[in-house]
A and B are shown apart, each in its own frame.
With several copies, the nearest count.
Chain A
């Protein structure tokens, strides 16, 4: 298949040199937004995403109050400069859908019944977008929730796998997402081994579906190790820097 050849060479190397099951570089930092009750920044491939949490707080408008649990709100938003062509800042249909699935992916891990009649707000801002931005956003958002001291059953962590031709690969970047043959973002609660987000695009044989899905879970657990490390660093570091991750060149 022509596409396959371009995106993966005969030795199974991908355009950026990764093997089929290799993650892009990931950097995580917790506690980057001063005003927020909790926050985290993730750089995953070319993704640069900041997530912040406010709450538990009063619910406005009041008719949205839930008597027995917290109302979880979320927004996934892309900065106008985050993509190749400038994006209109008004939320697109895509952003509205992703805001919903992110909320549904995070909520199972939040002990919402501990905070009745309150709102917990999760704001995810994509500063630069690459393949897998929604799972990167979820990964940062669950760190921000933990950083805010919200009671959690588990963290939530995601990874997207997919197809280059008929080959299952881990963690598609932008080019692989657009020119490849399928994308499958998966979010999990890693210690519970349960899935909280699953979306599938592409044409998968039953076998490839299972392979990609199980790979996504496996790689998600790899990212989870980095999440824990970032949290540890946050809570046991005395040298909290003020901004997000520093640039090499800066």
Chain B
């Protein structure tokens, strides 16, 4: 069962929220296009190649990167592998349960994965060691530690921060084999994709909905943009419609809001 559906907002609070939204305000005082406070800590898991703990308001995610060597997919023999997984831990919410990943967690991981992959953040061709035989595999596992809405962005930021600060062994090729050296190098980062999620409540469109707002939203859209203001991934969510005009407006909002977040991200992960 989706966590959104389980979250209960009291009637009086709902009325209050809708009232304020009509006036362009939100319950916590934010402007409609204002994301919550973002905190980025990196290097928190020493056993990982890279890691980050990101708090977006009260939503908190820890991402850890593990790098090893593996075999490439047959249809991309010259590319390393990048795999993003997410688990919504039972400790993160009264509505989360232990067990295999829910439909919700799978969508979360795949949307975050696409944002990273499609932006070409990591140059996967540089992770090829011996074409068709040996490549660098990069697992990014995300532990959702506290659920308070907009896991898409919080998780995406954690992955970006963890990857930007990841270190891996340098490999050299001997004949047909890749051998690790003692030298340590960063993961080849090319871009910094930033995901921005918007929600519609009644007539208003807000950036970075918290759990209370998500419980009342009727539409969600996540748009990821890159350093040049290109759009590299999007996912519309919820059983609802969106007008074409709103999609284009959301793209503009994402580009604009993403810019400030990208600056903070780059600053925090230099």
Contact = CB atoms under 8 A, between A and B. Distances in A.
A182 B118 CA distance: 8
Contacts of A1: none
Interface in B110-164: 110, 114, 118-120, 139, 141, 143, 145-148
Interface in A218-237: none
Q: Say whether chain B's binding surface is mostly helix, strand, loop, or mixed.
A: mixed
Interface stretch (B15-23, B25-33, B175-183, B242-250): B242-250
Given A99-B103, A127-B45, A198-B221, A81 B66 contact: yes
A79 B234 CA distance: 27
Contacts, number: 202
A128 B46 contact: yes
A194 B118 contact: no
B40 to A, nearest CB: 9
Given A193-B244, A195-B242, A195-B244, A242 B230 contact: no
Contact of B243 (A127, A184, A194): A194
22 contacts: A33-B146, A34-B148, A54-B94, A72-B239, A79-B143, A100-B107, A107-B240, A123-B91, A127-B64, A128-B45, A184-B234, A193-B243, A195-B241, A196-B236, A199-B234, A200-B232, A203-B119, A204-B230, A213-B247, A242-B55, A247-B41, A250-B44
A84 B234 contact: no
Contact of B47 (A99, A128, A203, A217): A128
A199 B231 contact: no
A193 B241 CA distance: 10
A237 to B, nearest CB: 19
Interface string A50-69: 11101001000000100000
B231 A209 contact: yes
A195 B107 CA distance: 19
| Residue among A83, A104, A197, A214 with max Cβ neighbours from chain B (10 Å) | A104
A36 B91 contact: yes
Contact of A103 (B68, B239, B247): B239
Interface of A: 33-36, 39, 46, 48, 50-52, 54, 57, 64, 72, 75, 77, 79-86, 89-90, 93-94, 96-97, 99-101, 103-104, 107-108, 121, 123, 125, 127-129, 178, 182, 184, 189, 192-206, 209-210, 213-214, 217, 242-244, 246-247, 249-250
